[in-house]
Amino acid sequence: MVRRNQDSERGQREAWRTHERETHAHRLAIAHRSRRRKLRPELASSAAGFHGMHDVSLPDPAHLEEIRSGPHKLTLQDWRCVLRGVGATMERANLALISAGVAFFGLMAVIPGMTALIALVGIFGDPAWIAEQIRALGGLAPDAVVSIIYQEVQRLVSTRNDTLLAGAIFNLLLALWAALQGTRWVLIALTAVNRRAEKRRALGRYLAAGTFTLYGLGLSVLAVLLMGVAPVVLAFLHIEHGTELLLLALRWPVLGGAAIGVALILYRWGPRRRPPPWKWLWPGAIAAPLLWLLASTALTFALREFPAFGAAYGSLASVVALLLWLYITALVFLLGGALNAELEFFSIGKPTQPVQAGETIEPRISVSGGAKEVAEKRAE
């Protein structure tokens, strides 16, 4: 009798477990069908912040498993969803506004930095050499940008060196401070697009900003060496014309590879989060330099072909062009970070939700050192 009762209870438990499994599977099927359709307005309004996307169908779970292996598994529809999410991230994280601030600090760093550099070079050699190298950057920046830097360098070169030395330390400190501020806000923005709050202490933030400022400075020095110094060295060596042309052509892939390398380092260790897998970093790291080159070329063409720009701003045209070029540079590299983050979020079924009419966007930028996380920690 006891064994019969035990068998009966065991059978009831098995039947209950089977019923629960079937119910759970049924609920999952209903949820999957609802996700493949547009969410109803009442469901869409419940999706908070970055999470969920109510105007694009989410991939089915099997396809999500494929996407997790890398971006190469994304379909054309997936890429449209990702790019739409990047646009939403740009609006939610105020990337355009932050890029404007970064451009302002960049402008503050360029002129004092040039002044300090010329003063220091004047101690050991001829500072006019710097002006000649600046002119060689015409292939990387718009003519108006190169022109204003070249004119400023020429003015500084004609100034007495002892006068420059008197303010060299101040100019150097001002340039470093401005560069640190601009880089710091780049790191804060990259943290925001990864749905995190900036919790690093002030010292940690400035150490990180200083490190990435050095990376950017190294990339700038490499650009000057490749575009300005390399042709002079090759002409001095008197090598064969074909070999010289080949070496000059190799400058571009070398500089592009260096830019991609700096972008990879920035996107992996810049945000205040666990370093993301490398597979999600390559798309943005490759797209950002390419998009920057296209945007810089387009800006150069526009400034050349539309003289109304100079007529509108007058003597400030070159300064505005430099500021606009710095703005484009900052925005492009922030969008590269947003692309990487959106790809990673899309792979776990949490694409960024577009901003709706009448929606109140909570601030995603926090530097208080103790703000609540913007999103849950996700499995790497």
Arithmetic mean of pLDDT, 182-191? 95
What's the CA gap between 186 and 48, in Å, rounded? 25
Q: What is the pLDDT of residue 153?
A: 78
292 is a domain residue: yes
**Gap between the Cα atoms of 305 and 294, Å rounded:** 16
pLDDT surpassing 80 at residue 77: yes
How many CB atoms lie under 10 A from the CB of residue 6? Answer: 10
- How confident is the model at residue 46, as a pLDDT? 31
The pLDDT, as a whole number, for residue 134 is: 77
User: pLDDT > 90: what percent of the chain?
Assistant: 38
Phi then psi for residue 373, to 5 deg, are -60, 140
Q: Which residue has the higher pLDDT, 357 or 296?
A: 296
Rounded to two decimals, what is the model's pTM? 0.78
pLDDT mean over 321-329? 94
CA distance linking residue 275 with residue 240, whole number of Å: 47
Give the domain range for residue 141. Answer: 91-347
At residue 109 the predicted structure's pLDDT band, cuts being 50, 70 and 90, is very high
Q: What is the pLDDT of residue 95?
A: 95
Q: Is the pLDDT of residue 139 over 90?
A: no
Residue 167 lies in a domain: yes
Q: How many residues does the chain have?
A: 380
Position 13 scores a pLDDT of 61
Q: Which residue blocks in the chain are alpha helix, DSSP H?
A: 2-36, 41-44, 61-67, 76-92, 95-124, 128-135, 143-157, 161-166, 168-193, 202-224, 230-237, 241-249, 251-269, 282-305, 308-313, 317-347
Evaluate whether residue 231 is within a structural domain.
yes
> What per-residue confidence (pLDDT) applies to 45?
32
**Mean pLDDT of the 280-284 span:** 96
For residue 272, give the nearest of 219, 212, 216, 347 by alpha carbon: 212
Q: Does a structural domain hold residue 86?
A: no
- Please check whether residue 214 lies inside any domain of the structure: yes
- Other CB atoms closer than 10 Å to residue 283's CB: what's the count? 21
Give dist(CA 360, CA 362) in Å, integer.
Answer: 6
Extract the tokens encoding 89: 């991230």
Lowest mean pLDDT among 100-109, 155-164, 188-197: 155-164
What confidence category does residue 18 fall into, taking pLDDT thresholds of 50, 70 and 90?
Answer: low
Residue 101, pLDDT score: 96
Does any domain span residue 365? no
Over residues 333-372, the pLDDT tens digits come to 999 999 999 999 998 888 888 877 766 666 555 554 433 4
By three-state DSSP, how is residue 85 classified? helix
Cα 281 from chain centroid (whole Å): 11
> Among residues 249, 197, 255, which one has the least CA distance to residue 221?
255
User: What percentage of residues in the chain have a pLDDT greater than 70?
Assistant: 74
* Any domain includes 38: no
Tens of pLDDT, residues 46-64? 334 455 444 455 667 778 8
Mean pLDDT, to the nearest integer, of 225-232? 84
Mean per-residue pLDDT of the chain: 79
Q: Give residue 228's Cα distance to chain centre.
A: 27
Total tally of structural domains belonging to the chain: 1
Residue 204 lies in a domain: yes
